[in-house]
């Protein structure tokens, strides 16, 4: 059975963090690209003109759905991108703390 100290430890694998954040960067870019493509869909006025009077209701609902979808894609891109930034920042801080701690231990050991 693991001790309390062992079960509360956090392991940070810099290689895994790099791979994971690179994947998040790609996902965020794809979500952002999809949002831009959705934003390029013709506006309600253009759809109404193209579909005529009978298609007006459809055009209005379609435009609302497209706007909502584009917003969700953009939000997803921002969230994934921000999570990647937080993970990179955390990893950088952890690596700095590890390095500084190792240097302090080495200095202390040299004085013993």
pLDDT tens readout for residues 77-98 = 999 999 999 999 998 898 899 8
Decide if 93 is inside a domain. Answer: no
For the entire predicted model, the pTM comes to 0.68
Q: Which residues contact 20 (CB under 8 A, 6 or more apart)?
A: 87
pLDDT at residue number 62: 84
Decide if 112 is inside a domain. Answer: no
Decide if 36 is inside a domain. Answer: yes
Domain residues for the domain of 34 are 14-85
pLDDT at residue number 82: 94
Decide if 60 is inside a domain. Answer: yes
Decide if 61 is inside a domain. Answer: yes
Decide if 98 is inside a domain. Answer: no
Give the separation between CA 23 and CA 28, rounded to whole angstroms: 9
Ranges of residues in the chain whose predicted pLDDT is under 50: none
How many domains are there within the chain?
A: 1
pLDDT at residue number 107: 92
pLDDT at residue number 78: 94
Burial class (CB in 10 A: 0-12, 13-18, 19+), 78: middle
Decide if 99 is inside a domain. Answer: no
């Amino acid at each position: 059975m693991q001790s309390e100290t062992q079960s509360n430890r956090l392991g940070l694998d810099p290689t895994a963090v790099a791979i994971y954040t690179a994947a998040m960067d790609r996902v965020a870019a794809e979500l952002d690209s999809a949002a831009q493509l959705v934003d390029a869909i013709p506006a309600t006025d253009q759809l109404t003109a193209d579909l005529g009077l009978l298609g007006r209701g459809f055009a209005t609902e379609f435009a609302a759905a497209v706007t909502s979808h584009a917003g969700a894609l953009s939000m997803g891109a921002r969230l994934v991108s921000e999570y990647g930034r937080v993970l990179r920042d955390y990893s950088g801080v952890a690596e700095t703390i590890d390095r500084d701690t190792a240097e302090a231990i080495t200095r202390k050991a040299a004085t013993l």
